[in-house]
């Protein structure tokens, strides 16, 4: 075991069994809910140094460090979270929880419904980004934190961060909003719809009741392949694969001919099945499609009317899933409402995934933004 | 029956039974081959006014007019082909044939293999854009045409047009190349790979031997949905659907909630199954992925070294499947070889489909380009 490794112990929090039941945005009461979360660093005495990380679609509570000495790769944002890193665990108490509807320790469609003793499947309620945030609010309260120094996330995590500033304005000193949108476009919805269709068309999906049977692995793999294409860019795919063939130099004119990009996607699709539940894919992608601050509040300006957080918004030139113009719409609405907002567009070839890769450039901004936010809190 | 309707009689041409067998680019001899084609207008005495239209992925020989008085929609490029239209059938003899490997009358994987008496399925040979062109060359020769006034096509049709100028330089006076590429990018290959995977993952696909059984309709529908997204643009999808819900005003928070864009894709995917064969999807998408003039000839400049046609290249600002930069690579290579090339980028919101929609703007260019080409031929 590598002694230098930070071994993280995941924790669980349960609520909503009885009178503290959560009422979902659909109006349906739902519970109990188990929340898987991890923390890094130490909460200060005033409980004023807490930063809540919000994960993206296929992420989980395991943002940094290693869960065991054997784990080959650290958490999904380890490059950004740790001592001396932008989310500096020597200064901040960093929290990350798995989202409601997920499949990585927090209650989701694969969890056991206590009423039936069987997994929920499609009887799991439709959940929203707002519901995910309301669950996180319960966790943060349980941890004794009245006000977060920051919420931060990319993609679906950025949606949750935006929702925090709208749902709980007084409880969020600052928000770091990366590679996201206030409402996914028709094109983004279309890609999610294809993914859901691929899963639901797999006969092994069985109307969502596949637990205890073979999972709809092919359908989920195809959904993931579609997703992967949207996370990369034309340029990054070209740089990574070009038109190289897998394991041969010339066309063999048979169906064993594969371009490297095909093998890569099939590999990524195939391994995804081992760590992700197909029904969670359906529920979370639906939550993303539903997310629409403009539609819900009448306009983006009205959505942000009561927000009091400082905002850092970052978009990436080659992100075509949630392109820069969508971040700019957020920034313009915030500015019209005279909110405290910084915006940067990072010139990056890595597409939507840039927020997971461009750690140095966004890291400097986040580091200085957090320090300013902390000074602001001290002067309050 | 509407008397003003042009009723078109499709024709068939067969070759390759014996000594005139076609040798494919893979080296494999293949035949017999039936070619479905249509013609519009009249071939002049010198056989000098023939224009060959090359269809795109899901197109067919039926480019213009109506096959019967009952047909509700005319051929796929009817807006461009007819008396007084850009491909003016009062002036030109216009030919369009279904491609080799297709499923609309020309021999493909769903055709009967005379050796076995059963459909080819996956025993059909892998075919290339070059093979399609070689089949067309047989047809053109049979029609008594030594030299085409023009070859013209968009997308996969543009690839065939490019290949004509390279394979048969002396036989093509001019080439109209729309919305295409000299080699699909890794991203474009990735989308095709997802489509093939969706089909091959459908249990009804049966390794390609589904003829006589239920076809792999769900897999093919998903492949088509992916394709459709790449044919449109973010902007055109936004204009067409926005985030409107199908048949309701508010979220119902159940899985009957559908955005209009989802219903549209599912409808388009579902109806495609009635007119397209899943194995042809696999073969034709593979032919597109294989197409690489740069890889085959060492460089684009070398590919065009012997070309003597006049070129009109048109790309469309919102086409992200074969973006303008790929057309510009073709144009630069042609210019470096001092070929006669005109290039225009049309500012259009309709994505890759623009070449089927922007008939007025591209029509004016094509009309004048063809007249110039015809004058050039008269002066020859």
Phi, then psi, of B171 in degrees rounded to 5: -100, 5
* Chain A with chain B: Cβ pairs closer than 8 A: 157
Q: Which of B194, B192, B199 is nearest to B286 (CA)?
A: B192
Q: How far apart, in whole angstroms, are the C-alpha atoms of residue B138 and residue A41? A: 74
Best B26, B128, B184, B186 member to test A by mutation, with max A CBs in 10 Å, is B186
Confidence at residue A18, expressed as pLDDT on a 0 to 100 scale:
76
**Distance from B322 to chain A by nearest Cα, in Å?**
10
Pairing of strands B150-154, B118-119: unpaired
Query: Which of B56, B38, B89 has the alpha carbon at shortest distance from B367?
Result: B89
Q: How far is B237 from chain A, CA to nearest CA, in Å?
A: 6
Interstrand relation of B340-346 and B310-316 (parallel, antiparallel or unpaired): parallel
Residue A247 neighbours by CB distance under 10 Å: 10
User: Residue B320: its chain A contacts at CB < 8 A?
Assistant: 234, 320
Residues shown for chain B: 380
Give one word for B43, left, alpha or beta, with left for phi > 0 and alpha for psi -120 to 50.
Answer: beta
**What's the confidence (pLDDT) of residue A276?**
98
pLDDT band per the 50, 70, 90 thresholds, residue B68: confident
Contact B234 A320 (CB under 8 A): yes
Contacts of B247 (CB under 8 A, 6+ apart): none
Which residue of chain B is at minimal alpha-carbon distance from A224?
Answer: B194
Closest to B175 in 3D by CA, of B197, B193, B157? B157
Going by C-beta distance under 8 Å and a sequence separation of 6 or more, which residues neighbour residue B342?
B310, B311, B312, B313, B365, B369
Residues of CATH 1.10.1740.110 domain(s) within chain B? Answer: 189-284
Positions of CATH 3.40.50.1820 in chain A: 11-184+293-378
The 8-class DSSP code of residue A98 comes to P
Q: What is the DSSP letter of B11?
A: E
Instruction: Please give the pLDDT value at position B5.
Output: 65
Query: B28 and A225 in contact by Cβ < 8 A?
Result: no
Residues of chain B with CATH 3.40.50.1820: 11-183+293-378
The pair of structure tokens assigned to A151 is: 């919420």
Of A240, A265, A323, the CB nearest to B193: A265
Among the partner residues A190, A233, A266, nearest to B261 by beta-carbon distance: A190
Tokens of B296: 């085959």
Would you call B237 an interface residue with chain A, using a CB distance cutoff of 8 Å? yes
Q: Do B187 and A234 touch (CB under 8 A)?
A: yes
Q: When comparing pLDDT for A246 and B107, which is higher?
A: B107
- For A63, phi and psi rounded to 5 degrees? -85, -30
At B159, list the tokens. Answer: 């690839």
Confidence band of B4 (pLDDT split at 50, 70, 90): low
Residues A80-102 have pLDDT tens digits of 999 999 999 999 999 999 999 99
CB contact at 8 A, B359 and B80: yes
DSSP B334: H
Beta strands at A11-15 and A33-40: parallel, antiparallel or unpaired: antiparallel
User: Among candidates B173, B177, B175, which has minimal Cα distance to B46?
Assistant: B173
- The helix (H) or strand (E) run that includes residue A316 is strand A310-316
B126 CB neighbours in chain A (<8 A) are 253-255, 257
SS3 category, B149: coil
DSSP letters for A179-221 = S--SS--HHHHHHHHHHHHHHHHSGGGGGG--TTS---HHHHH
Protein fold of A11-184+293-378:
Rossmann fold (3.40.50)
Whole-prediction pTM = 0.96
How many helices and strands, by DSSP H and E, does chain A display?
12, 14
State the smallest CA–CA distance between residue B16 and chain A in angstroms. 21
pLDDT at B33 over 80: yes
Which residue of chain B has the CA closest to A200?
B218
Nearest chain A Cα distance for residue B353, angstroms: 15
User: Would the pLDDT of B1 be above 70?
Assistant: no
Those residues with Cβ within 8 angstroms of residue B317's Cβ, 6 or more apart along the chain or in another chain: B324, B345, B346, B347, B348
Enumerate residues 6+ apart whose C-beta is below 8 A from B377. Answer: B48, B147, B149, B173
Output the pLDDT for position B333: 98
What topology does CATH give the domain A189-284? Answer: Rna Polymerase Sigma Factor; Chain: A (1.10.1740)
State the Cα–Cα distance between residues B249 and B304, nearest whole angstrom. Answer: 55
Question: Region B344-354: what's the mean pLDDT?
Answer: 97
Q: What is the mean pLDDT of each run of 10 residues along chain A (380 residues)?
A: 68 90 96 97 97 98 92 94 97 98 98 97 97 98 98 98 98 98 97 98 97 97 97 96 89 84 94 96 98 96 98 98 98 98 98 97 98 95
- What token pair was written down for B10? 């499709």
Catalytic residues of B: 155, 319, 352
Around Cβ B252, how many Cβ atoms within 10 Å? Answer: 12
From the candidates A155, A236, A280, A309, which is the catalytic residue?
Answer: A155
ipTM of the predicted structure? 0.94
Instruction: Return the H-helix or E-strand segment holding A285.
Output: helix A278-290
Please tell me the predicted confidence (pLDDT) of residue A1. 33
Q: How far is B330 from B364, CA to CA, in rounded Å?
A: 22
Query: How far is the alpha carbon of A50 from chain B, nearest alpha carbon, in Å?
Result: 33
pLDDT digits (tens, 9 = 90+) for B257-284: 789 999 999 999 999 999 999 999 999 9
Contact B225 A266 (CB under 8 A): no
DSSP H or E segment with residue B34: strand B33-40
Each as own residue / partner, the long-range contacts of residues A301-306 (CB below 8 Å, 24 or more positions apart, any chain) are A301/A333, A301/A336, A301/A337, A303/A166, A303/A182, A303/A333, A304/A165, A304/A166, A304/A333, A304/A334, A304/A337, A304/A339, A305/A337, A306/A166, A306/A169
Nearest chain A residue (CA) to B254: A126
Record: contact A259-B218, CB cut-off 8 A:
no
Confirm if B312 and B370 have CB atoms less than 8 A apart.
no
Instruction: Kindly state the average pLDDT of the residues B329-354.
Output: 98
Q: Cα-flanking dihedrals φ and ψ of residue A173, to 5°?
A: -70, -35
Beta pairing partners, A178: A154, A314
Q: A329 touching B, CB under 8 A? A: no
Directed axis angle between helix B129-142 and helix B278-290, to 10°?
A: 100
Residues in chain A: 380
User: According to the CATH classification, is domain B11-183+293-378 in 3.40.50.1820?
Assistant: yes
What is the reported pLDDT for B3? 43
């Amino acid at each position: 075991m590598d002694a230098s490794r930070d071994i993280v112990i995941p924790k669980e929090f349960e609520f909503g069994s009885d009178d503290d039941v959560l009422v979902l945005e659909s109006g349906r009461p739902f519970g109990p809910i188990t929340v898987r979360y991890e923390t890094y660093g130490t909460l200060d005495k005033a409980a004023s140094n807490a930063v809540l990380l919000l994960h993206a679609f296929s992420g989980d509570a395991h943002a940094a460090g290693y869960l065991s000495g054997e784990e080959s790769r650290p958490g999904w944002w380890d490059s950004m979270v740790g001592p001396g890193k932008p989310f500096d665990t020597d200064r901040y108490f960093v929290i990350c929880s798995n989202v409601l509807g997920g499949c990585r320790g927090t209650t989701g469609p694969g969890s056991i419904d206590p009423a039936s003793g069987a997994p929920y499947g499609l009887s799991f309620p439709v959940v929203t980004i707002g519901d995910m945030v309301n669950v996180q609010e319960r966790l943060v309260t349980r941890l004794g934190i009245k006000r977060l120094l920051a919420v931060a996330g990319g993609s679906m995590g950025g949606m949750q961060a935006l929702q925090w500033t709208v749902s709980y304005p007084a409880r969020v000193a600052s928000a770091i909003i990366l590679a996201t949108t206030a409402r996914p476009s028709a094109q983004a919805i279309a890609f999610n719809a294809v993914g859901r269709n691929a899963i639901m068309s797999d006969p092994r999906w069985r109307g969502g009741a596949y637990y205890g049977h073979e999972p709809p692995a092919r359908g989920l793999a195809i959904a993931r392949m579609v997703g992967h294409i949207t996370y990369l860019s034309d340029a990054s795919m070209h740089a990574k694969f070009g038109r190289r063939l897998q394991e041969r130099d010339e066309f063999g004119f048979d169906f064993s001919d594969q371009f490297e990009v095909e093998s890569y996607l099939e590999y990524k699709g195939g391994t995804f099945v081992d760590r992700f539940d197909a029904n969670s894919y359906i529920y979370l992608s639906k939550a993303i499609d539903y997310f629409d601050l403009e539609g819900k509040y009448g306009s983006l300006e009205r959505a942000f009317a009561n927000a009091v957080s400082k905002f850092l918004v970052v978009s990436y030139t080659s992100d075509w899933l949630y392109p820069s113009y969508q971040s700019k719409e957020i920034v313009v609405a915030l500015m019209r409402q005279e909110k405290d907002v910084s915006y940067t567009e990072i010139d990056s070839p890595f597409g939507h995934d840039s927020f997971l890769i461009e750690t140095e450039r966004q890291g400097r901004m986040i580091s200085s933004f957090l320090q300013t936010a902390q000074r602001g809190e001290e002067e309050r």
